[in-house]
């Protein structure tokens, strides 16, 4: 019975946060619902832990989370991973290098998937879930070149000797990416690691992200990266993605 009462109060609080129509303080909730501070604190913590509510920026004001949007976003990402797996498998098979899928996320590129079926004893470590600065890697450059993003907002921090830290140079590089159809990372995020990537569009020609490969600098010299860039472009162009 006590659990039922707690659930009822929790639903009551959540409903009040939604119906209030603007950010609300915990003290205001206490007054409006006649619930003491300690009980309200427990209820709000539970709602926050379950991702029903959050605090607005760095304030003490509470807002309801848009669960529908979060669920939709998660479903779309899962669908993208599922539908691009055969593409990554094909890329890995044709290049014998580790294949990646990445998308734009809060001015960075997040690695959603990675496949490597090669027989090498030493393989590239898992990067799934990694957030990397857009200007430092091939996936990010393809996304920047073929997307519509404000380059002025990027922090062009240096990670290796080859990292692009000049805005004009980055713009020139992205123009080359547009011209060639692929982007290159010549040890710009990690020393001795090189990458090449191409943009990934859906059937409506909307940019979804980018796919590419990476490997050691000894295997993937610049000329080899260019060769693989052309090959990746053909593989992706032949792959009909419906998302």
Region 173-201 average pLDDT: 96
Give the three-class secondary structure for 113.
strand
Phi, then psi, of 50 in degrees rounded to 5:
-90, 5
Task: State the DSSP H helix or E strand holding residue 228, giving kind and residue range, or none if neither.
Answer: helix 222-238
pLDDT of residue 1: 46
pLDDT of residue 5: 66
Tens-place pLDDT, residues 8-35 = 888 899 989 888 878 899 999 999 999 9
Which of the residue ranges 38-52, 116-130, 186-200, 218-232 would you say has the lowest mean pLDDT? 116-130
CATH code reported for the domain at 2-65? 1.10.10.10
Tens-place pLDDT, residues 205-236 = 889 999 999 999 999 999 999 999 999 999 99
Topology annotation, domain 69-238: Beta-Lactamase (3.30.450)
* Predicted confidence (pLDDT) at residue 243 exceeds the cutoff of 70: no
pTM above 0.75, yes or no: no
Strand order in the sheet with 207-216: 131-133, 108-115, 98-105, 207-216, 193-201, 183-186
* Predicted confidence (pLDDT) at residue 239 exceeds the cutoff of 90: no
In the chain, where are the structural domains located?
2-65, 69-238
Per-residue pLDDT band for 109 (boundaries 50, 70, 90) equals: very high
What are the C-alpha distances in Å from 39 to residues 24, 82, 217? 17, 43, 59
Tens-place pLDDT, residues 139-158 = 999 999 999 899 998 999 99
Tell me how many degrees the CA angle 95-222-238 measures, rounded to the nearest 5: 40
- Please tell me the distance from the alpha carbon of residue 94 to that of residue 90, in angstroms, as a whole number: 6
């Amino acid at each position: 019975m006590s659990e039922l009462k707690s659930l009822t109060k929790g639903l009551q609080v959540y409903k009040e946060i939604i119906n209030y129509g603007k950010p609300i303080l915990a003290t205001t909730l206490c007054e409006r619902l006649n619930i003491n501070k300690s009980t309200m604190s427990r209820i709000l913590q539970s709602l926050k832990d379950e991702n029903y509510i959050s605090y607005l920026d760095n304030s003490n004001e509470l807002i309801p989370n848009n669960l529908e949007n979060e669920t939709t976003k998660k479903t779309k990402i899962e669908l993208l991973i599922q539908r691009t797996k055969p593409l990554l498998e094909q890329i890995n098979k044709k290049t014998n290098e580790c294949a990646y899928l990445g998308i734009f996320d809060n001015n960075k590129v997040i690695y959603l998937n990675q496949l490597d079926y090669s027989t090498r004893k030493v393989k590239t470590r898992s990067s799934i879930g990694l957030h990397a600065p857009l200007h430092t890697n091939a996936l990010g450059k393809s996304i920047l070149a073929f997307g519509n993003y404000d380059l002025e907002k990027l922090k062009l921090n240096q990670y290796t000797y080859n990292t692009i830290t000049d805005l004009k140079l980055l713009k020139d590089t992205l123009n080359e990416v547009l011209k060639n159809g692929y982007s290159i990372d010549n040890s710009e995020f990690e020393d001795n690691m090189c990458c090449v990537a191409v943009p990934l569009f859906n059937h409506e020609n909307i940019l979804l992200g980018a796919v590419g490969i990476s490997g050691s600098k000894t295997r993937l010299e610049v000329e080899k990266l260019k060769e693989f860039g052309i090959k990746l472009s053909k593989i992706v162009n032949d792959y009909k993605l419906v998302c």
